[in-house]
A = this chain, B = another copy of it.
Amino acid sequence: MIKKYKILVADDDLDILEIIKFNLERNGFDVTVTNKSTETYELALKIKPDLILHDVMMPEMDGFQVCRKVKHSEVLKNIPFVFLTARNEEHSEVQGFDLGAEDYIAKPIKPAALSTRLKTIIKRYVKEEELPNLNVGIFKIDRDSYVVYKNEEPISLPKKEFELLYILAGSPGKVFSRDDVLARVWGNDVYVGERTVDVHIRKIREKIGEDFITTIKGVGYKFIA
């Protein structure tokens, strides 16, 4: 499962919203938009975005007000808040605003740059939980190199097979239903058939041997060490 970052975008210009949404989604973000800054806070509470991208100049509430409100919320205050500013607006005003370490992006927006920039900002905040390498029985499962060692023999697995084995081997003996596996390897919003899991299990068994993953009929699969 590739972590899909959620971005909340607020701008009163519907065209800009459209452009941003289109481009970010094409780059694998999960995008929610609003054209009313009064809604930003409620929306943020609801969807818990990984980043808020907010126009500075908006009717009713400006970006600074929204930012302050967000930063006073226990739940939301750790979400990076990025300002969108028109080129001729006062950048210094943004810079002077006590943002913690917030950032700002100037319009007009360069789509290619935007995704990269946001990813960088998110990564700075959300320190990816480092998933540990595993040592289970005769197997060593090494995420750094995407290689599984059976005793000393290196076996290279493609992504899905690797992640599936990683989940199973992470809790040896525990049975995972196909639904569990799909949720954890494919993610909660990807819908593929359950038989797909069977096929991947087949591939893994071919590569690491038949004796390490057992089937519990009517339940699912488990890894045995």
Question: Which A residues contact B (CB, under 8 angstroms)?
Answer: 32-36, 39, 42-43, 46, 92, 95-96, 98, 101, 110, 112-113, 116-117, 119-120, 144-147, 156, 158-159, 171, 173-175, 179, 182-183, 188-189, 191, 193, 216-219, 222
**Protomer copies:** 2
Contact partners of A188 in chain B: CB under 8 A: 120
Which B-chain residue is minimally distant from A156 (CB atoms)? Answer: B216
> In the complex the two chains form, is B191's CB within 8 Å of A112's CB?
yes
Closest chain-B Cβ to A218's Cβ sits at a distance in Å of 4
Q: What would 16 A/B residue contacts be, using CB atoms closer than 8 Å?
A: A32-B95, A33-B92, A33-B95, A34-B92, A43-B95, A43-B96, A110-B191, A112-B191, A113-B191, A144-B173, A144-B175, A145-B174, A145-B222, A147-B173, A156-B216, A159-B217
Closest chain-B Cβ to A12's Cβ sits at a distance in Å of 12
Closest chain-B Cβ to A137's Cβ sits at a distance in Å of 15
The secondary structure that dominates the A interface is: mixed
Q: State in angstroms the CA–CA spacing of A217 and B146 once bound together.
A: 10
Q: State in angstroms the CA–CA spacing of A162 and B110 once bound together.
A: 29
Q: State in angstroms the CA–CA spacing of A47 and B124 once bound together.
A: 14
Q: State in angstroms the CA–CA spacing of A39 and B93 once bound together.
A: 12
> In the complex the two chains form, is A120's CB within 8 Å of B174's CB?
no
Which B-chain residue is minimally distant from A47 (CB atoms)? Answer: B95
Which B-chain residue is minimally distant from A2 (CB atoms)? Answer: B218
> In the complex the two chains form, is A145's CB within 8 Å of B175's CB?
yes
Q: State in angstroms the CA–CA spacing of A167 and B208 once bound together.
A: 31
> In the complex the two chains form, is B175's CB within 8 Å of A146's CB?
yes
> In the complex the two chains form, is A145's CB within 8 Å of B173's CB?
yes
| Pick from B34, B96, B159: contact of A218, CB under 8 Å | B159
Closest chain-B Cβ to A146's Cβ sits at a distance in Å of 5
Closest chain-B Cβ to A89's Cβ sits at a distance in Å of 14
Q: State in angstroms the CA–CA spacing of A96 and B36 once bound together.
A: 10
Closest chain-B Cβ to A136's Cβ sits at a distance in Å of 15
Contact partners of A217 in chain B: CB under 8 A: 158-159
